[in-house]
Amino acid sequence: MDETNGLHLLAFGAHPDDVELAAGGTMLKHARAGKKTGIIDLTAGELGSRGNKEIRAAEALAAATFIGLTLRENLGMQDGFFRHDSDSVMKIITCIRRHRPQIVLCNSPSDRHPDHGRASALVREACFLSGLHKIETEALTPWRPEAVYMYIQDYEHKPDIVINISGWVEDKMELLKCYSSQFFSEKMQGFRTPISGLDFLKFVEGRCYHHGRAAGFEAGEGFLCERSMGAEYLSGKY
């Protein structure tokens, strides 16, 4: 993948598969429209009950290829134990300044897995601090994304904005098959986890239609944002 500056959309996830589960349709839609997109995983997901670090790295690469990402990176933070501290924030600031994204996506601010909320706070803080000139990163100039959106994960939240992914749900569900160690397949063996059953994939698919219906779409992915959304004119079409 060509690691060039000036991404349109850069998504951060605490673990490989976080982004695909909650925002896979959005990533696919933007990438297939020719937008430069990327995913940065904070950890390798090494504490997951299924698979291992090497398997999950291969799955993440397969998912990146399926989406058509411009880049995918892993920051090598410790799964389950990474901290919201200055070192972690600086790693993310460096990524933001290197890739200069217009829009950043990040984990849900509150969720079943404690890594998700911690990652969300880390990324949101880094997006702001990345714009401060007195924070120095070697050979990289300050950069602040225009917007930061938090994708909705296990816990349900009322979206502040819904992206129309009508026509992309089938591709999203196909994308999740890249993570065969994590999600249901007919040949699956080993530990059963809260996300390894067929019921979980039905939940993911159903949420797409649930979020879409609330916004007047066939299917959608919901996001949270900290600041008010703006528009030039009122419109009945969302």
Report if residue 97 sits inside a domain. yes
pLDDT score, position 2: 41
Give the residue from 123, 109, 122, 198 showing the smallest Cα distance to 154.
109
Report if residue 235 sits inside a domain. no
CATH number of the domain within which 145 lies: 3.40.50.10320
Report if residue 232 sits inside a domain. no
pLDDT score, position 192: 84
pLDDT score, position 66: 98
Q: Which range of residues forms the domain containing residue 101? A: 9-224
pLDDT score, position 237: 58
Which residues of the chain fall short of a pLDDT of 50? 1-4
Report if residue 163 sits inside a domain. yes
Q: Can you say whether residue 72 is alpha, beta or left, with left for phi > 0 and alpha for psi between -120 and 50 degrees?
A: beta
Spell out a b/e string for 104-128, using b for 16 or more CB atoms within 10 Å of the CB, else e. Answer: bbbbbbebebebbbbbbebbbebbe
Report if residue 233 sits inside a domain. no
Token pair 């994304």 is at which residue? 145
Report if residue 33 sits inside a domain. yes
Report if residue 237 sits inside a domain. no
pLDDT score, position 238: 53
Strand order in the sheet with 147-151: 71-77, 37-43, 9-13, 103-106, 147-151, 220-224, 161-164
Q: Are 17 and 45 in contact (CB under 8 A)?
A: yes
pLDDT score, position 162: 97
Count of structural domains within the chain: 1
Q: Are 107 and 123 in contact (CB under 8 A)?
A: yes
- Residue 219's SS3 state is coil
Report if residue 88 sits inside a domain. yes
